[in-house]
Structure 1
Amino acid sequence: MGSLKDNQQFFNGKAWALPKFPLLWSNFSYTWETYHFGRYFVNSIVVTVGSMALALLLSATTGYVLARYTFKGSGLLYYFYISSLMIPAILTLVPMFFLFDTLHLTNSLTGLILLYAIGALPFGIFVIMGFFKSLPRELSESATMDGASHYGVFLRIMLPLAMPGLITVSIVNALSFWNEYPLALILMNDPGRYTLPVGLAVMQGEMQYRTEWGPLFAGLFISMVPILLLYAIFQSRINEGLVAGAVK
């Protein structure tokens, strides 16, 4: 409703009233072009999809090895991953920035993708490992007897059976990556590489004393639509994955 109004409709004391005709659909095009939301939108898609794919790959492979194979130090490695969930991300900002600056990964979408994927590993391993542990070992043993390699068992047998867990982790990560603000703000200083949350903050800062409420709400709506659609489409899968993981 707010994205279809002009400033006057906000200042008349009826901010919650329905927008008046004609509806200002031009707020969307104005925000998309004037405040470079098209560029921010593409950057967010690249970072979210890239981080989600990398995090899922690392979580699935690591969780599978820790769940199905026993080796010296496997328990210590698992608790090392899980213990990192107790460390507030805000405490890592300064050393993380200097590390990424030394590696020349600041002001880079690649650096942001790596950072997001690494940060999502503990949760992904925790959830996916539970699914792999619940699968009967007879399945992998039968596949091995039929001539399947370790990679074949993982890719053709175990991975499809753990699909509810993979989907749950993917959607939860996508929600987190799409809305993440502090890390993107710290790592990026090139306006051409801003993501949507940073772009919204920059947009509000550029307005100064001439706040354009309609375009600002339009920008917020643009940033919300993809993740709302994603959640609406996969909502049943998310619930299925969480419940199955809890029961198993």
Structure 2
Amino acid sequence: MSTETRAAVTIDRRTKRQDPQLHTRKATTGDKVVGGTSHVVMAIWSLVVILPMVWTLIGSFKTTKEIFASPFGLPAEWNFDNYVSAWVDNAFGQMFVNTVIVVGVSLVLVMVLGAMCAYVLARFSLPGSRLIYYLMLAGLTFPVFLAIVPLFFILQGMNLLNTLPGLIITYVAFALPFTVFFLFSFFKSLPYEIQEAAYVDGASEWRTFFTVMLPMAKPGMAAVAIMNFLGLWNQFLLPISLNAEKDNYVLSQGMAAYASSAGYALDFGQMFAAVMITIIPVLIVYILFQRQLQGSVSQGTSK
């Protein structure tokens, strides 16, 4: 550290000692009220979210008789019989595999296509680019249940009705407008100097996008990937309407079919286990990528 820098740091420290208001501010009564109220609301909201999940987790280790006899008590014996029965006997294992295939392939396709579309719309002035962007925005406002009948006949004409590829195509079309809308602002805010420098170094449009611009939009990519994963994993209306083949069921429609078919003879322990099988992957993905999601939100607000 140079002599001038040390002198500047010393002067800054002396200034803070002489005037404490430069780095400290006494909290007012209003600040305390707002802070206390927000903490109370967040605590109540956390309990509303966490307690049902904990109750479902404990219930997944109980029998139906134990659940009705002691809804909030601990199970007499901790075992994974309900999970094994739900996974094997009720075909939730096959449904889980179908869900992973459909959501995984759809997520990869929608992220690649959405990023490429958002990049072109944000970085290039092409005839009709604004119209395409507004059409994407219109896709966000269009209620999905109004498209069920046209989608049904389109997939039927393509011989993709009640198939996993047909469901994948539908998921991609469903998630693409939101992906383009979300990534458009990220690509728009990237500096043009870096793109021009890549061109000067001889990089093609494809190489500039995949090796220079796309890594710079990583926070936005991570955030929209998490949101798309949550939306596609929990999707219910599209598979229940376009995927009537039992061997191709995904978890959301499988759980609904199991609950409706069992009627009053429903095994609630197995049902709770099936719910946990559906929830656990979502929790794992969010826990692993929550830092990227927080980083993208803070980066977006700072811009």
**TM-score w.r.t. structure 2 length?**
0.79
Q: Which residue of 2 is the match for residue 59 of structure 1?
A: 114
CA contact 1:6–1:24 (8 Å) conserved in 2 = no
CA displacement at 1:23 relative to structure 2: 2.0
In structure 2, list runs of 5 or more residues that go unmatched.
Answer: 1-57
CA RMSD in angstroms, aligned pairs only: 1.1
Whole-Å Cα distance in 1 between the matches of residues 207 and 150 of structure 2? 40
Residue equivalent to 2:273: 218
One-letter amino acid of the counterpart of residue 65, structure 2: Q
- Structure 1 position 3, deviation (Å): 0.5
Are 1:2 and 2:71 matched, yes or no?
no
Which residue does 1:106 correspond to in 2? 161
Residue 243 of structure 1 pairs with residue 298 of structure 2: yes
How far the C-alpha of 1:110 sits from its partner, in A, is: 0.6
SS of equivalent to 1:113: helix
Equivalence for 1:85: 140
Q: Equivalent residue for 2:202? A: 147
Cα deviation per residue 1:63-94 (whole Å; 9 max; x = unaligned)? 00001100111111111111111111111111
Match for 1:34: what amino acid?
A: D
Distance in 2 (alpha carbons) for counterparts of 1:11 and 1:84? 46
2:184 maps to what in 1? 129
Q: What is the identity percentage for the equivalent residue pairs of Structure 1 and Structure 2?
A: 37
Distance 1:78 1:50 in 2: 24
- The CA deviation at 1:173 is 0.5
Return 5+ residue gaps in structure 1 as ranges: none
Aligned equivalent of 1:17, options 52, 56, 73: 73
- Does residue 232 (structure 1) correspond to residue 266 (structure 2)? The answer is no
Relative contact order, higher structure (CA 8 A, sep 6+): 1
Q: Distance in 2 between matches of 1:151 and 1:32?
A: 44
Residue 60 of structure 2 aligns to a residue in which SS?
Answer: helix
Of 257, 260, 267, 1:202 maps to: 257
Q: Distance in 2 between matches of 1:66 and 1:101?
A: 32
Count of residue pairs brought into register by the alignment: 246
Larger radius of gyration: 2
Distance 1:52 1:237, change over 3 A: same
TM superposition outliers: structure 1 runs of 4+ over 4 Å:
none
Question: Cα distance, 1:11 vs. partner?
Answer: 2.1
